Amino acid sequence: MSATGQTRQLMPADIAAMKGGEPVVCLTAYTTPVAKLVDAHCDLVLVGDSVGMVLHGLPSTLGVTLEMMVMHGQAVARGLSQALMVIDMPFGSYEQSPQQAFANAARLMAETGAAAVKLEGGRHMAETIAFLVARGVPVMAHIGLTPQSVNTLGGYKVQGRGAEGARRMIADARAIEEAGAFSVVLEKVPQGLARDITDALSIPTVGIGAGAGCDGQVLVVDDMLGLFTEFKPKFVKRFGELGVDAEAAVADYAREVRARSFPGPEHVFADEVKK
């Protein structure tokens, strides 16, 4: 049974219906084992293009391809039975035109089994969101800090500061709601502004670095598990320190191999007794 008490796999309409109620719990996943681990506890699992940085060592999300998203989406789908699976549309796969966006969204959904896609952008993406929704593609929007636009934004900075910045972001939020998005991620937004946007919209907001006033929260699973010992954004709470534990385990393994204490008698198979 999922966190929402459901015994079936959740759909975009179920997430939309959580507006103003119990917070939406969301984590990223990129592999089958992690998907199985988070499935029972999350309402929504995001196959994020953050996979490029987390698993492939890319400097940003810009180098992520459709083929990478398909591969990881298929892996995650094998591990889910209850949580809604949403998959990111990578950079360059939807910006050219609504028609391009639909072709690539349809491919992602058909080849992975994802029930929805996520794309970045506010007012300038409203036409594309409406085009997708009208053709049966549920869309989760993403505004605030949009990592695919990091070069235009001048880095991974807080977005929406000042009266004009707040006005633009509220306008973005209203535009994507009117276009038919079923929810929206607010990333790295001042908590007061995030709360104002949450109160103004009829669709759930899912925050990452946007405060507890959102309708839900999302984190990169590797961040919250502490798998990266050298990287910790301000908005991340480490609920585990798996990176430290893993490093210690690897060091113990190396030490025992070099000392020839592993494998021990309990780890080997006895020779056949010769008659």
What is the Cα 47 distance to its own chain's centre?
5
Task: Identify which has the larger pLDDT, 156 or 63.
Answer: 63
Query: 218-242 in b/e burial notation, b at 16+ Cβ within 10 A?
Result: bbbbbbbbbbbeeeeeebbebeeeb
Q: Is 275 annotated as a binding residue?
A: no
The amino acid present at 221, given as its one-letter code, is V
- The predicted structure's pLDDT at residue 1: 42
Task: Please report, rounded to a whole number, the percentage of residues in the chain having pLDDT higher than 90.
Answer: 86
- pTM of this prediction exceeds 0.75: yes
> Domain 12-240, CATH 3.20.20.60 — does that match?
yes
The mean pLDDT value of the chain amounts to 94
Band the pLDDT of 164: cuts 50, 70, 90: very high
- The predicted structure's pLDDT at residue 136: 98
Q: Is 19 annotated as a binding residue?
A: no
**CA atoms of 239 and 75, how far apart (whole Å):** 24
Instruction: Report residue 119: phi and psi, to 5°.
Output: -135, 155
Q: What integer is the mean pLDDT of 260-269?
A: 94
Q: Is 50 annotated as a binding residue?
A: yes
- What are the structure tokens assigned to 99, written together? 């028609």
Q: How confident is the model over 226-237, as pLDDT tens digits?
A: 998 776 778 888
CB within 8 Å of 201: residues ≥ 6 apart: 19, 173, 174, 177, 184
Q: What integer is the mean pLDDT of 55-81?
A: 97
Task: Identify which has the larger pLDDT, 153 or 47.
Answer: 47
187 is catalytic: yes
**CA atoms of 58 and 52, how far apart (whole Å):** 5
- The predicted structure's pLDDT at residue 5: 52
Give the dihedral sign, CA 198/217/61/66: negative
Neighbours of 59 (CB within 10 A): 9
- Of 67, 111, 187, 266, which is the active-site residue? 187
Above 60 in pLDDT, residue 254?
yes
